[in-house]
A = this chain, B = another copy of it.
Amino acid sequence: MSAAVDAVVDAVANVQLADAKPRAHDQVITPWEVQGSVAADGKQEGIDYDKLISQFGTRRIDNALLERFERLTGQRPHVFLRRGMFFSHREFDKILDRYEQGKPFFLYTGRGPSSDSMHLGHMVPFVFTKWLQDVFECPVVIQLTDDEKFLFKHELKPEQTKQFSRQNAKDIIACGFNLDKTFIFSNYEYMGGMFYQNVSKISRQITYNQVKATFGFNESDNIGKIHFASIQAAPSFSNSFPHIFGAVSNIPCLIPCAIDQDPYFRLARDIAQKLKYQKPTLIHSKFFPALQGPQTKMSASDPNSSIFMTDKPNQIKKKINAHGFSGGRETEEEHRRLGGDTEVDVAYQYLTFFLDDDEELAKLGEDYRSGTLLTGQPQGKMYFPIAERRTAISEELVDSFMSAQRQISPSCGRAQAQAAPAAVEATV
């Protein structure tokens, strides 16, 4: 009897221990979960991106690649490339080959509309894709996976996720995409035609075993989830967009996305070969750090972890002060004497991604580290032209970007002459 009581006491003690200190584990990166590893002493670590590159089998974006990019396009690499926000790729070099040869390609990115406002982390691929569109003068397709969010989040209804799609489209449009070369679509609205035909072709090439291995599904998961990979893969293939590419199926795409989306497109690359389509190429970003620090990413479901596009400047300042992981010292006196730590200061980290001026950033960093710039001051430099522009986006403009009833030219800047006739031929 006493032994049994002891066992219960032990068990309770162990439960409490387990609750008090997170168990040690490796980092977990899937399309639904991003968590840095936890060390044996319970310490939460940052994401190890080098490990991800070797684990996923991607390639690092190195200086040679950036130099070639600059040589070919005549454009200085974007701050996200210079400062390593986009750090990894799959065959980005092949897209540069095509650019050099004047052959067409397109950009594909997307978003799962889980709420009606996007946060700073969500904007990273769009800000970057818009910039790539300006450089390459190429078509862009943007998938809003309102069906996926409905399938994965039991509290949501299709009416809601469709509404989120439209609201998110405004944030995206506010990045400055070229209407003449950009098609934004909601899966609920666009599903059908050649797009659906590609979805079914892709789904015939993927077994339950493969999605189980890739995404960790189990037998209690719904068949919508299990099938969804086919829908995310379909925009990788140019003939999913007859109003842009006609029936041409051999124009490859470049997908700017966060590294956690890579499993979807690894599958898509396998399938491309089987369907005799072009493999999608990828350029991967790091996760945008949460206010609480770089061990996880901003999450829309935790409002305190994120700065939203709809937040007003004074709200942003308050959030950073209240929830932002600070590199400052306990007191002003101590800060002035010892200086702040830019390595961990979240506001400073955000500036490294959004402040294009290298000199200004260097000066800010120096001042902060030396103690002349106080805690709470770096975020004064954060400004959000996108958020300002967003309020001016009309419903009519959203309709225009989301219309599949218009013809979009498949041409790229250098590829204008070659691309147009090919697409015209194919639509005959």
A residues sitting closer than 8 Å to B (CB atoms) are 147, 150-151, 154, 158, 188-193, 196-197, 200-201, 203-209, 211-212, 217-224, 226-227, 229-230
A228 to chain B minimum Cβ distance, whole angstroms, is 9
A62 to chain B minimum Cβ distance, whole angstroms, is 37
Q: Give the most central of A151, A189, A200: most B CB within 10 Å.
A: A200
Q: Cβ of A196: which chain B residues have Cβ within 8 Å of it?
A: 147, 188, 191-192
A231 to chain B minimum Cβ distance, whole angstroms, is 10
B220 touching A224 by the CB < 8 A rule? no
A424 to chain B minimum Cβ distance, whole angstroms, is 21
Given the complex of chains A and B, what is the CA–CA distance between A112 and B58 in angstroms? 43
Q: Cβ of A191: which chain B residues have Cβ within 8 Å of it?
A: 191-192, 196
Given contacts A206-B222, A206-B223, A226-B227, 6 further A-B contacts (CB under 8 A): A154-B204, A191-B192, A192-B192, A200-B224, A206-B224, A208-B218
Question: How many copies of the polypeptide does the oligomer hold?
Answer: 2
* 29 chain-A/chain-B pairs, Cβ below 8 angstroms: A147-B196, A150-B200, A150-B201, A151-B203, A154-B204, A158-B197, A158-B201, A188-B197, A191-B191, A191-B192, A192-B192, A192-B193, A203-B224, A204-B222, A206-B222, A206-B223, A207-B223, A208-B217, A208-B218, A208-B219, A208-B221, A208-B222, A208-B223, A208-B226, A209-B219, A212-B219, A223-B226, A224-B230, A227-B227
A198 and chain B: residue at smallest CB distance: B158
Given the complex of chains A and B, what is the CA–CA distance between A209 and B192 in angstroms? 28
A163 to chain B minimum Cβ distance, whole angstroms, is 13
